Amino acid sequence: MSTTTQVQRKRPHRLTLRLSPDELRHIREQADIANLRPARFARELCMGSCLRPVPRFPKEVYRSVRSFGNNLNQLARQANMGEAYQGAVEALRRSVEELLRTLHRGPCQS
């Protein structure tokens, strides 16, 4: 690597770590959960960042959230027009309860 290339890089220094297979697997898993590459994950931790995992839920959960948002929007529209009725409110309540049950089960659990 030429000197010019090293000067142009944002991070020209390298730190080598020796890890056991389990340690490397753990770092890769945690980086994946945080939606980061392992090098950035390790760098952020070393620099004192508080990394929060990005939970991954099954597609059904995202579908439920989208459905809930649509139902809420329709109910709000009806209420603004003076047409909201108890059946719609009850259906929305059941939808919210099901969504909360799913979220409490946690990511990637059926």
pLDDT by residue (tens digit) across 29-58?
988 888 889 999 999 988 988 877 666 677
Task: Identify whether 36 is part of a domain.
Answer: yes
Q: How many CB atoms lie within 10 A of CB 41?
A: 20
Task: Identify whether 13 is part of a domain.
Answer: no
- Considering the domain architecture, whether residues 47 and 64 belong to the same structural domain is answered as no
Measured in whole angstroms, the distance separating CA 21 from the mean position of its chain's CA atoms is 26
pLDDT tens per residue, range 60-104:
777 878 887 887 888 888 877 877 677 777 877 887 888 788 777
Q: How many domains does the chain have?
A: 2
- Considering the domain architecture, whether residues 99 and 76 belong to the same structural domain is answered as yes
According to the model, what pLDDT value does residue 3 have? 53
According to the model, what pLDDT value does residue 25 have? 95
Residue 30 is part of which domain span? 19-54
Q: How many CB atoms lie within 10 A of CB 36?
A: 17
Task: Identify whether 110 is part of a domain.
Answer: no
Confidence of residue 11 (pLDDT cuts 50, 70, 90): confident
